[in-house]
Structure 1
Amino acid sequence: MYISSSNTKGRYIIGIGTLFIAFTPLVAWAASSTSDSLDWFKMTMELFGGLALFLFGMEQMSAALKAAAGDQMKNLLSKLTTNRFSAALSGAAVTSIIQSSSVTTVLVVGFVSAGLMTLSQSIGVIMGSNIGTTITAQIVAFKVEKAALLMIALGFAMLFLSKKEKVQHYGNVLMGLGLIFFGMGIMSEGMSPLRSYEPFINLMTSMERPLYGILVAALFTALVQSSSATTGIVIVMASQGFISLPAGIALAFGANIGTCVTALLASIGKPTEAKRAAAIHIIFNIVGVLLWLLFIPQLAVLVTYVSPVAANLSGTEKLAAEVPRQIANAHTIFNVANTLIFIAFTAQFGRLVERLIPDKTTPKKAIIKPLYLDNDLLETPALALDMVRRELAHLASIVDAMLAKTGDAFRERDARKFDEIAKMDDQADILHAEITDYIRKLTLQNLTEQENENMMRYLSINEDLERIGDVIETNLVEVGKEAVRLKLKATETERTILSQLYYQLREVLSTTQTITQNDDELAAQNILHMKDNINQLVREAIQMQAKRLKQEGAENIDVTHMENELMDSMKRIYSLSKRIAKLSLPKKLFQEPD
């Protein structure tokens, strides 16, 4: 069973605590001032107990969906850079799984920072993410509380009787959905006596004032940092006839504004691209609400026309039957309409936030920072692992650049270039440590079997890349500095055979970078196939050395020692690259021993 992260649990505890603080004075006052027979203690326990089940069910369902659809989310988000409309659809699809437009925005920031998409292209994804958050409201509005316990039982059976991980994930989804409806039923039952309680009815009626309703929903959403939770609770209250359609629409609008707080908090201390993405999210949501603020009555008429009608009911029962679906439809129509209206102006949005948040003119610090690792993605392991893979490619590119500079330094016998390589290894060490720490944090999450395998594979690749950097910095650089100090000239062996070996190794590291970037199995096989060529070059170098020693004797023993050190180091680099290649291949595809 999935357990919420401490961050999510903290948000929900704050939200429930806030409701408790707000509701307790009303209970105390009502209990002392009314002469009716309402059981306030029972009502309070049912309200908060049901709310706890409702919120836990939401988190359970979301976590299971993330695990079940992790690879699909990753693949979907990797194809966003061509069309703003497909970007909006992809943003909606991913957010409907994650149930957090803020997490989608954070992910988009990573792509923009890495140059994988432009800011204007990312705007479509951010707009589409608002549509994805309406899915929960649509699910909750179905009002199938009577099937809740059956869903929990079926989900439990799938979880504990099946050995297939995929079936277990969908069992968790079903259990989460059942808990949502079961919590709804308990809350509805707990609040039903309030239908005849005048002060509470007056309080709910005040929500029809748009600004008041928007403010209340925005504050609650800012506390729990989930617009889906807010709209779900609004629909539950509407199912008891407490909230009219105009009030429900105002509360849904407020939830859209309140969720901007999450994006704002996530951008604090982040790069300029993160602040711009958060600004787009905030501007889009607030402008969208302001655009519709005066048209709430017209929107109410529209959703009444397109929503089911309970013709055989009247009064509060009619409201309870019709308004939940109407609010869910209004929430969806509002977000879809805003996306269609504003998506034509993505370029203008981009230019606006670039003016509001200009690029920093301060020089960049020399210390390297990860390009992709973001703690906000840890709660979505499939996407966090994808960022780890991209950061490994970043590390591989630095190691490849180190080897490239090593060749130049040897050809020119330039001591300064050897010192520069040592500094580049410091950058590689920093990235290695950052990746290791990020993976450590990832181990605290609920990982699928496949995700756990990928995590361990990436951890091994991280170690091997760091070792390659150390071989270059410790062995090759030291040999090079010694060659400079002793003023050793390049021999024919170094100029021909070892030069060929070096360029073969450059191809190996370039291919290793491709493996880490794309999980490319063909590239991994190519590295394994290079073994014969590399061994042949080593043999030729040794034969040329032996021939030279016969002719010259031991007078150039320092040169021979240098060449042997070079060959040993390059063979070590190939061996480590080969290990990375094997980690990226199914075991059945190779039988070649280390």
Structure 2
Amino acid sequence: MRWRTRPPNRADRWRPALGALLLGLTAIAGAAEGLSGTDSIDWTVMGMGLFGGLALFLSGMDQMAAALTAVAGERMKDILAKLTTNRFMGALTGAFVTAVINSSSVTTVLVVGFISAGLMSLAQSVGVIMGANIGSTVTAQLIAFRIDHAALLMIGIGFALPFATRRESVRHYGNMLMGLGLVFFGMTVMSDAMAPLRTYQPFLDFMTTLEQPAVGVLVAAVFTALIQSSAATTGIAIVMASQGFVTLPAGIALAFGANIGTCATAMLASIGKPREAVRAALVHVFFNVAGVLLWFGLIDQLAHFVQWISPSRPELTGTARLAAEVPRQIANAHTLFNLANTLIFIGLAGQFARLAEWLIPDKPLGEQSFIVQAKYLDEELLTTPSLALDRVRLEILHMGESVQTMMTRIMPAILNGNRQTLREIELMDNDVDTLHEQIILYLGKISRTTLTEHQTHELLRLLDAVNDLENIGDLIETDLVERGRARIDAGVSISPPTREVLLGLHRAVGRSLASALQAVAQNNEIAARAVTSMKQEIARIAESAAAHEARRLVAEEPNRIPAYTLEIDIIEKLKRIFYFAKRMAKTVDEEMAGEAA
């Protein structure tokens, strides 16, 4: 199976953002026209403004996050893997990575992958998840600056940058700047649309209900669960505060609710995932809910402290002062709340982990499912191709574990095994075929995203590698298993010297397969070159084995012709397996891939 990904197209890349931009411009024009001739509220015009502004706001956030992860995703993954040596470093790293890639969900998905791969314990991951909550507050801080007057300038510059250079990184930075501009422009559209509500008493009466903390928490939790973005909920609260609709205590309650609502995203993402993913999602729920419960009765005290540390505008009064001060205060309260919770609960990381393990225990051996499933191919990472491709490498290693088991068992089965042993090895290839299909489908989904030229080449190399690995599984399942059955049918007994020759070649080819898997899974050029350097060793062993078989052919031994044919076939199939292992290794290095096979 082969295909080529469609190269990135500028029109495709910008069409969603331009559509949202036109929608927002239409809303503003309609609002200006509708409000100029009447003092009453035109609900149609207001609805257009609110929904258009919200579309701009959410589209801008998505575009900004996608650009940030495209620029920094791979480096952030490496940082996350290397700097989580303890819970405190994990919290700092989680905060930094989430702030850069603007997505606590992506951070959590990466953490689950590290747990599944054995690179991180669940207790270590608790610190990263706590830190991710801190990093997610950066967006609210950014929104609170309210640099609305520069929104259209940022959109214009961001749109123009891709046309000014061919450098991929500059295009991503332009995309990020345009996304940020859309965020601020969307806030302006929503603010202008809500302006008539300042004198609409039923709406003001409804907003007073948010002064009750329980109502504010519930409303924000439900809204966040629906749109699956705590940053967006907090941003909308800041927009409402800029119109004087939301007081600081109400804004804090909304931020609390956003922290609870975002747990729904984590729980939904864990459905159908390995138990490590469900436990990580549960830790996220425990931490966020415990934090809200801890601070729920202290909202007024937190509000007073935030007012003390935040800038004030004493020259203003009434609604104007609220609109000037509260947006920054809400952002500060959101950051302070998550920072304090991390400092309070980080010492309980082990207890959080043990509680999750107690609630979601490992399945008893008798209840284990025998249907193999992909462990690392997470759909949420498809928006970040560099991270999705990295997961494909891990899944190839997972698939390779089954192939290595088949490889380890096949030679003893050929030499001494019975039909049942050979049948068991043959059936193991079903797992290999299942994982191969899932990896191919996942690569197909990645190919439909916007890929850089480097990512396109990497996808095609991984496609070649997984196909080579599947070919090795097929060689063992069909050719080598059949050689074992042929030995049983012919009643051939392989002599001890010949056994040693075949086992020596089998061990060398097995080493090459292990190194090839390491090369692909870790993108390890040293391991890849170790495989290609074995070419002469494999050739020497194979030639020695062939010479040994030739000497046996002229010897007076019973069944020497069937034995010779069988043993030569085994040697040729092992050489073929090495050929595919070498091809796998060469997919890691473009220079090696250009060499003759």
Superposed pair shares fold, TM > 0.5: yes
Match of 1:283 in 2: 286
> Using the alignment, how far apart are the partners of 1:470 and 1:369 within structure 2?
19
**Aligned with 2:372 (options 347, 368, 373):** 368
How far off its partner does 1:493 sit?
6.2
2:423 match: 419
For the Cα contact (< 8 Å) 1:2–1:64, is it kept in 2? no
CA contact (8 A) 1:272 1:360 kept: no
Correspondence list, 1:408-487, <5 A: 408-487=412-491
**In the alignment, is residue 495 of structure 1 matched against residue 499 of structure 2?**
yes
Provide the residue aligned with 2:568 in structure 1.
564
Q: Quote the residue 2:3 is aligned against.
A: none
SS at match of 1:219: helix
Aligned partners of 2:312, 2:457: CA distance in 1, in Å? 51
Question: Residue type matched to 2:271 in 1?
Answer: I
The whole-number CA distance in structure 2 between the counterparts of 1:508 and 1:360 is 34
For residues 258-307 of structure 1, give each alpha carbon's deviation from its aligned partner in whole angstroms, at most 9, with x where no partner exists.
11112222233434333322222112111111111111111112111221
Aligned to 2:538: 534
1:387 aligned onto 2:387:
no
Report the counterpart of residue 262 of structure 1 in structure 2. 265
Aligned counterpart for 2:159 among listed residues 134, 149, 156: 156
Q: Is residue 219 from structure 1 mapped to residue 219 from structure 2 by the alignment?
A: no
- Report the alpha carbon displacement of residue 321 of structure 1 after superposing the two structures with TM: 1.4
Which residue of structure 2 lines up, in the alignment, with residue 20 of structure 1? none
SS in 2 for 1:69: helix
- The secondary structure found in structure 2 opposite 1:274 is helix
Pair 1:74 & 2:77 matched: yes
Q: Secondary structure at the match of 1:371?
A: coil
354-363 vs 339-348, greater mean Cα deviation: 354-363
Q: Deviations over 1:373-425 (max 9, x none)?
A: 22233233222222211110111122122111112223424433222211221
1:504 and 1:418 map into 2 onto residues whose CA distance is 22
Q: How does 1:290-301 map to 2 (within 5 A)?
A: 290-301=293-304
Distance 1:544 1:358 in 2: 55
Name the SS for the 1:378 alignment partner: helix
Retained in 1: the 8 A contact 2:498–2:548?
Answer: no
Give the C-alpha shift of residue 152 in structure 1: 0.9
Residue 5 of structure 2 aligns with which residue?
A: none
1:346 aligns with 2:372: no
Which structure 2 residues correspond to residues 51-70 of structure 1 after superposition, within 5 A? Answer: 51-70=54-73
Letter in 2 for 1:154: I
Pairwise CA distance, 1:469: 0.7
Find the aligned partners of 2:84 and 2:489 in 1 and give their Cα distance: 52
**Residue 515 of structure 2 is aligned to residue 511 of structure 1:** yes
* 56-65 or 74-83, which deviates more: 74-83
Task: Quote how far apart the aligned CAs of 1:491 are.
Answer: 4.0
Q: Which residue of 2 aligns with 1:524?
A: 528
Cα offset for 1:555? 6.2
Distance 2:42 2:594 in 1: 73
- Counting only pairs closer than 5 Å after superposition, residues 247-258 of structure 1 correspond to structure 2 as 247-258=250-261
Equivalent residues of 1:100, 1:226 under 8 A apart: no
Structure 2 portions without partners, runs of 5+: 1-9, 25-30
CA contact (8 A) 1:50 1:184 kept: yes
What is the match of residue 46 of structure 1? 49
Q: State how many pairs are aligned.
A: 573
How many Å apart are 1:534 and its aligned residue? 1.5
CA shift, 1:228, in A, is 0.8
Q: What is the one-letter code of the residue matched to 1:418?
A: L
| More divergent stretch after superposition (233-242 vs 436-445) | 436-445
Distance 1:278 1:549 in 2: 64
- Residue identity in the other structure for 1:231: T
Worse-matched range after superposition: 445-454 or 344-353:
445-454
SS at match of 1:313: coil
Maintained 8 Å contact 2:94/2:128: yes
Percent identical residues: 51
Match of 1:22 in 2: none
Query: What displacement does 1:80 show?
Result: 5.3
| Structure 1: stretches of 5+ with no match in the other structure | 17-26
Which residue in 2 is equivalent to 1:202?
205
Alpha carbons 2:587, 2:593 under 8 Å: kept? no
Q: Which one-letter code corresponds to 1:583 in the other structure?
A: T
Q: CA deviation at 1:554?
A: 10
Q: Is the 8 A contact 1:395 1:428 kept in 2?
A: yes
Give the aligned partner of residue 240 of structure 1. Answer: 243
SS of alignment partner, residue 383 of structure 2: coil
**SS class of match (2:245):** coil
Alpha carbons 1:54, 1:181 under 8 Å: kept: yes
**TM-score if structure 1 supplies the norm length?**
0.90
Answering whether residue 126 of structure 2 is matched by residue 123 of structure 1, we say yes
Residue number among 386, 392, 399 corresponding to 2:403 in the alignment = 399
- The letter of the residue matching 2:174 is G
Shift of 1:113: 3.2
1-structure distance, mates of 2:213, 2:417: 75
More moved, 391-400 vs 79-88? 79-88
Distance change (3 Å), C-alpha of 1:179 and 1:128: same
Q: Structure 2 CA distance, aligned partners of 1:267 and 1:237?
A: 33
Change (3 A) 1:315 1:68: same
1:136 aligned onto 2:117 = no
**1:366 positional shift:** 2.0
Within 1, Cα distance between the matches of 2:113 and 2:397?
14
Secondary structure class of the residue paired with 1:78? helix
Answering whether residue 552 of structure 2 is matched by residue 548 of structure 1, we say yes
Give the residue type in structure 2 aligned to 1:543.
A
152-161 or 484-493, which moves further after superposition?
484-493
Q: Residue 591 and residue 489 in structure 1: after superposition, are their counterparts in 2 closer, same or farther (change >3 A)? A: same
Q: In the alignment, what sits opposite 2:335?
A: 332
**C-alpha displacement at 1:161, in angstroms?**
2.3
The AA in structure 2 aligned to 1:288 is G
Shift of 1:475: 1.1
Given that 1:99 and 1:228 are in contact with CA atoms closer than 8 Å, whether structure 2 keeps it comes out as: no
Residue 21 of structure 1 aligns with which residue? Answer: none
Determine helix, strand or coil for the equivalent of 2:111.
helix
1:427 to partner: Cα distance:
1.5
Paired with 1:134 and 1:160, the residues of 2 have a C-alpha distance of 32
Structure 2 residue aligned with 1:186:
189
Aligned amino acid, residue 335 of structure 2: T
In structure 2, relative to structure 1, the CA distance for the partners of 1:277 and 1:546 (3 Å cut) is closer
For the 8 Å contact 1:67–1:448, the answer to whether it is kept is no
Asked if 1 retains the 8 angstrom alpha-carbon contact of 2:123 and 2:352, the reply is: yes
* Cα separation, 2, equivalents of 1:500 and 1:479: 18
CA contact (8 A) 2:549 2:568 kept: no
Counterpart of 1:166 in structure 2 is: 169
Q: TM-score, normalised by structure 2?
A: 0.90
Determine if contact 1:74/1:386 at 8 Å carries over to the other structure.
no
